[in-house]
């Protein structure tokens, strides 16, 4: 979808902060499926968690991402996704070897421009919902760049600047 823009990249790289800035400016945003799933699973004592059952977690992220897209169809203008379907499909394929990425990546297209937050050790933090270290996050980041490019997306690495400056840079990039 031409107006669906994915913001992906390294965990704890500032995606959610950037989405909050875009939301503050009046843009439609979709929060990261993974964080929502972890919060739900922890609340109900579930096991579809990246550290408990990563395959179940990835499958739920795919389902949630497809549902998010359906909701986003009602929005006009740019819609910014904090991660989403391609990230979830890439994770499931990495974990299981099942060839789901290309199929889902063709069925559910996003704007050709994908914006990635690079590894940023200075701001990297662990929390109750993010329990993997930076080495894991960097490996995922490297896989995601490769996977997005293999699906024909133009990847743009966001600069390590404030959320305001990042939002300005991203929006200017989309206008080009």
pLDDT band at 137; cut points 50, 70, 90: confident
CATH code of the domain in which 25 resides: 3.40.50.300
pLDDT digits (tens, 9 = 90+) for 21-33: 999 999 999 999 9
User: What pLDDT does 125 receive?
Assistant: 58
User: What pLDDT does 105 receive?
Assistant: 87
Q: Are 8 and 119 in contact (CB under 8 A)?
A: no
Q: What six digits make up the tokens of 164?
A: 């305001």
**CB neighbours of residue 29 within 10 Å:** 22
Task: Give me the number of domains the chain comprises.
Answer: 1
- Which residue segment(s) compose the domain that 100 sits in? 4-175
Specify the pTM.
0.90
Mapped to the 3 state alphabet, what secondary structure does 11-51 carry?
CCCCHHHHHHHHHHCCCEEECCHHHHHHHHHHHHCCCCCCC
Question: Mean per-residue pLDDT for 90-104?
Answer: 93
d(CA 97, CA 164): 39
């Amino acid at each position: 979808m031409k107006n669906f823009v994915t913001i992906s990249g390294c965990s704890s790289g500032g995606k959610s902060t950037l989405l909050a800035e875009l939301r503050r400016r009046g843009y439609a945003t979709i929060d990261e499926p993974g964080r929502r799933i972890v919060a739900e699973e922890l609340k109900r004592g579930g096991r579809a968690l990246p550290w408990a059952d990563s395959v179940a977690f990835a499958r739920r992220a795919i389902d949630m991402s497809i549902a998010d897209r359906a909701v986003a169809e009602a929005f006009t203008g740019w819609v910014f996704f904090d991660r989403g379907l391609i990230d979830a499909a890439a994770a499931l394929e990495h974990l299981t070897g099942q060839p789901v990425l290309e199929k889902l990546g063709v069925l559910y297209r996003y704007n050709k421009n994908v914006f990635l937050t690079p590894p940023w050790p200075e701001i990297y933090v662990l929390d109750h919902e993010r329990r993997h270290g930076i080495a894991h996050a960097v490996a995922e980041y490297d896989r995601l760049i490769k996977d997005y490019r293999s699906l024909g997306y133009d990847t743009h690495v966001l600069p390590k600047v404030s959320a305001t400056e990042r939002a300005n840079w991203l929006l200017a990039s989309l206008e080009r």
